Amino acid sequence: MISFFFVTIAFAFAVFLLVWVKKQKNENKKIQEVSALIKAGANTFMKKEYKVLAIFAGVAAVIIFILLPVPVWKGDIVDNISITIAFIAGTVLSAIAGKIGIIVATSANSRAAEAAQKGIKPAFLIAFRGGAVMGLAVVGFSLLGVCAVLWVVGDATILLGFSFGASSLALFAKAGGGIFTKTADISADLTGKVELGIPEDDPRNPAVIADNVGDNVGDVAGMGA
């Protein structure tokens, strides 16, 4: 029960920091415009990616049910069901953590950029507290999953399903986002700096927006999941 108390503390503090970040000024129209494009792109990518990963999770869950911890025709079917449920729970919590990362990152990015006009300290504080939301969410979900499995089942073997579900979804989310952002980064450099002479990271170059979308879905959602 003590572990669940710390889970509650982690989530409560994460919510507190998220509310604090959203209360920071975000009044610059140009920053809002670019931020809205990045947010829309990130949400679209995450929606498409999670649909594909849901198919993977479904297929993997069937295989796990049949084969783990022992083939279903050789052992107790309850153990197979338990480890399958734990696997699905791991994938779901990992996906939620990634989504929380996107929400806080797209909220903190524009506010940190606007605060940077006043100095590095307010910008750093917003960025740091925004990142802390993701960190606390990951710790909270991880501890919640482990405690729930041990409390309900009481068998550490079932934790393999939970950890595999969480890590496999995070792996594909990170890889997919990383490939996306690197492709957009190279495209932005080739079309912007080389062909058109546009400065690096200029929002007039659509590939720059895609590059920033990739940074969010790969480095934030992927790492956080």
Instruction: Inform me whether the pLDDT recorded for 121 exceeds 90.
Output: yes
Q: Would you place residue 212 in the very low, low, confident or very high pLDDT band (cuts 50, 70, 90)? A: confident
Examine the pLDDT at 65 and tell me if it is beyond 80.
yes
| pLDDT for res 225 | 63
User: Which residues touch 21 (CB under 8 Å, ≥6 apart)?
Assistant: 104, 107, 108, 111, 126, 129, 130, 133
**What's the whole-number mean pLDDT along residues 74-87?**
91
Quick one: tokens of 182? 């690197």
pLDDT of res. 95: 92
Give 92's pLDDT tier (boundaries 50, 70, 90).
Answer: very high
Q: What mean pLDDT is predicted for residues 31-37? A: 87
Axis crossing angle, helix 29-67 with helix 159-188, rounded to the nearest 10: 140
- pLDDT more than 70, % of the chain: 95
Mean per-residue pLDDT of the chain: 87
* Residue 194: band (very low, low, confident or very high) from pLDDT cuts 50, 70, 90: low
For residue 125, the tally of other CB atoms under 10 A from its CB is 15
Alpha-carbon separation of residue 131 from 108, 136, 150, 177 (angstroms): 9, 9, 29, 18
Per-residue model confidence (pLDDT) at position 85: 95
Query: How far apart (Å, rounded) are the C-alpha atoms in residues 89 and 224?
Result: 16
Q: Are 189 and 115 in contact (CB under 8 A)?
A: no
* CB of 4 closer than 8 Å to CB of 146: no
Output DSSP code: residue 24: S
The predicted-structure confidence for 123-174, as pLDDT tens digits, reads as follows 999 999 999 999 999 999 999 999 999 898 888 889 999 999 999 888 888 8
Residue 204 has pLDDT above 90, yes or no: no
Q: What local confidence, expressed as pLDDT, does residue 138 receive?
A: 92
DSSP 46-97: HHHHHHHHHHHHHHHHHHHHHHSSS-TTTS-HHHHHHHHHHHHHHHHHHHHH
How many other C-beta atoms can be found within 10 angstroms of the C-beta atom of residue 19?
10
What is the rounded CA–CA span in Å between residue 79 and residue 181? 40
